């Protein structure tokens, strides 16, 4: 496993797997160990406060009877693996998300669905109808089960935080699945600074596939971690607003928030465009 991190700019990611590799990770999850692949350029570190990490670990233990692999570091932070580190987990066809739980919370952008696996947050969706959000999640994880709000309180709090302040860094571990091309696109999206917008052509250039504009747009549309993977920062080549999985009105609002043109209030709820 050490070779996975050979070129990492942040060695704190090693603490997630540990020197014993997947053998030490497997009993912590009480499930078959995930398989990791190196796919892209490393991104910056993802760190969470110790208190929030403890709350997340406790909620996952309550939901699954197992705790994710955490190890404390100096300075009161915890290292996590995440998509921007250039790794992904191979989806097992037989899994169907039986280890995924989800819940709903209210945000200034409407209702949010947060879904969590033992490895981290695997989906963050926005909408107004819980049934539609559940259907969208079940298309990804057919066996995902609802959980009490208190079980997912940490993830739902994070959903509210990113909806209100999308320009800030988030503070939860991620469990992201996708094709190698999708992960390249999503990594490039996470490199776009808040307040900056780019075109699909620019994203294609950044990942070394300048002719793959349609594939880049498809990868943006396949993103199921709203705001965390900021596909809302991608516009058409002429700068006009393109489509958005969770509504064009939400996309415009997020862009304005990040550019400092507006600040959300509890009363300023945004609904999805028809």
Q: Exposed, middle or buried by CB within 10 Å (0-12, 13-18, 19+), for 21?
A: middle
Select which of 69, 122, 154, 231 is catalytic.
231
| Sole residue written with tokens 């945000």 | 107
Nearest 5 degrees, angle CA 203-CA 162-CA 118? 90
Assigned token pair, 251: 């996309």
**For residue 176, how far is the Cα from the chain centroid?**
6
Longest pairwise C-alpha distance within the chain? 52
**Beta carbons of 221 and 251 less than 8 angstroms apart:** no
Give kind and range of the element (H or E) at residue 113.
Answer: strand 110-117
State whether residue 174 is helix, strand or coil: strand
69 in catalytic set? no
Active site residues: 231
């Amino acid at each position: 496993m050490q070779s996975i991190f050979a070129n990492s700019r942040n060695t704190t990611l090693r603490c997630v797997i540990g020197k014993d590799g997947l053998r030490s990770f497997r009993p912590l999850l009480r499930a078959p160990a995930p398989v990791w692949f190196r796919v892209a350029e490393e991104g910056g570190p993802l760190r969470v406060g110790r208190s929030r990490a403890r709350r997340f670990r406790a909620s996952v233990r309550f939901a699954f009877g197992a705790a994710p692999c955490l190890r404390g570091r100096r300075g009161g932070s915890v290292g996590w693996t995440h998509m921007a580190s250039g790794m992904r987990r191979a989806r097992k066809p037989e899994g169907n998300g039986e280890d995924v739980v989800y819940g709903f919370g209210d945000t200034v952008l409407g209702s949010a669905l947060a879904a969590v696996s033992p490895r981290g947050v695997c989906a963050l969706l926005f909408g107004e109808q819980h049934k539609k959000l559940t259907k969208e999640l079940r298309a990804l994880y057919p066996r995902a089960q609802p959980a009490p709000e208190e079980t997912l309180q940490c993830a739902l709090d994070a959903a509210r935080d990113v909806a209100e302040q999308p320009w800030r860094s988030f503070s939860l571990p991620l469990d992201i699945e996708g094709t190698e091309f999708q992960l390249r696109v999503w990594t490039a999206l996470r490199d776009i600074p808040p307040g900056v917008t780019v075109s699909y052509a620019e994203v294609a250039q950044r990942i070394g596939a300048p002719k793959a504009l349609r594939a880049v747009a498809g990868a943006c549309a396949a993103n199921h971690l709203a705001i965390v993977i900021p596909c809302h920062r991608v516009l058409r080549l002429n700068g006009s607003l393109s489509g958005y999985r969770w509504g064009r009105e939400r996309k415009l609002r997020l862009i304005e928030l990040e550019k400092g043109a507006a600040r959300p209030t509890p009363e300023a709820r945004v609904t999805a465009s028809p």
